[in-house]
Amino acid sequence: MTGRLALVLAFALAALALPLHAQQRSAQADQLDAQAIAAERVWRNYQQRIAVAIAGSGQARDLALAAVLQDVATADPDQPSASDADARAWRQAAAGSAGQDVLANAMLMMGDGDGAQALREQAARRWAQAEPDNIAPLLFQHDGVDALLANARHLTRFDLHMYDQVRWIQSKLVQHPPSANEREVLFGEEAVPIQEHAAVSAMALWAAVAIPSLQELAEACEGRALRATASRGADCAHVARVLVGYSDSSLGRMLGIGMLETMAGNASERAEAQALGRRMDWQMLEWGRISSQQPRDGAPQFVRLLADPQVRTEQDLIERILTEAGVALDPPAGWQPPRR
């Protein structure tokens, strides 16, 4: 990802307002602020423009994506729960026609404005009906972790459909690329391929708005809560191992490893959890190191691997990147991550 694109995404996805009051700044800082303000404005306008175009198809997935783009483009940090009228209408229309389309319902999780909570709850229930073995939709429902853990033995995966959504969003952004003038402001003279721009933007958008809260689940499987019912310990252990072994994102694996370490009842279980943690730390750090040595922080490689249907999960992607670089998937004997 280019530095300028990273800056643009930081503004667009976090919807942060830049302070405009007068300050004592250097000429260089003033110039950077001016570029950032211009880039933020262009990025917001671009998202609003393509949101209208994407919504024009009337398809549930497109309407859900258009609502998210509109939300991000019009977000006001002083009114974080406010929702644009067009976004509300598109999201309502998407919910009305999503049916059992898992991807459409998953994309409806990307909403937090007026009326979005109720629609998200309904979409999460439709998603859970379509995939009764999946932990992910249960985390977006209001039933809470007690209901999730009560049905834990039926759950066999934690699938957010992360790359499915990212690929869908990328395909829509490729169909609606920035204009020449917009590209000049966003990228300067650097020739960023549209597929790359779309993939990086899609990944950043998903990461900003499509991740469920995992804190409640973690807290339900530690301390006194772990002894709340006779079956809680076994249920938590089952969910933790599902998260470790059958997550489509590193987020799920990280939570599962943390749960196993917290619940460890003896030295053997603790050593197993710590070994899993070291292996994950090694792979994540090596992934970051390898990417930092590539053009645009590895964005071209990410685009290439995202286009490969065999790369279904984030773990698939990480292992491919490490293997292509000739890096072992397991850390050297005795290796410890820098923070430990």
Assigned domain for 87 exists: yes
Assigned domain for 85 exists: yes
d(CA 84, CA 79): 11
d(CA 251, CA 7): 24
Q: Which residue range forms the structural domain that includes residue 89? A: 3-131+178-209
For residue 39, what pLDDT is reported? 85
Burial of 24 (0-12, 13-18, 19+ CB in 10 A): exposed
Instruction: Give the chain's mean pLDDT.
Output: 87
For residue 3, what pLDDT is reported? 39
Burial of 196 (0-12, 13-18, 19+ CB in 10 A): buried
Assigned domain for 19 exists: yes
Assigned domain for 12 exists: yes
CB atoms within 10 A of CB 338: 6
For residue 340, what pLDDT is reported? 54
Assigned domain for 117 exists: yes
Amino acid code (one letter) for 46: Y
For residue 78, what pLDDT is reported? 62
Domain count, the chain: 1
For residue 339, report the phi and psi dihedrals to the nearest 5 degrees: -80, -10
For residue 2, what pLDDT is reported? 41
For residue 84, what pLDDT is reported? 83
Burial of 279 (0-12, 13-18, 19+ CB in 10 A): middle
Rg of the chain on CA atoms, in Å: 21
Assigned domain for 281 exists: no
For residue 17, what pLDDT is reported? 32
For residue 225, what pLDDT is reported? 93
Assigned domain for 267 exists: no
Contact by Cβ (8 Å): 196, 4: no
pTM score above 0.85 = yes
Residues 6 or more apart whose CB falls under 8 angstroms from that of 135 comprise: 148, 155, 157, 158, 239, 242, 243, 252
d(CA 234, CA 339): 31
Residues with pLDDT less than 50, the chain? 1-25
Contact by Cβ (8 Å): 91, 67: yes
The set of long-range contacts for 293-296, using a CB threshold of 8 Å and a minimum separation of 24, is 296/1, 296/2, 296/192, 296/196
Assigned domain for 324 exists: no
Burial code (b: 16+ CB inside 10 Å, e: under 16) for 70-109 equals bbbbbbeeeeeeebbebbbebbebbbeebeebbbbbbbbb
Amino acid code (one letter) for 91: R
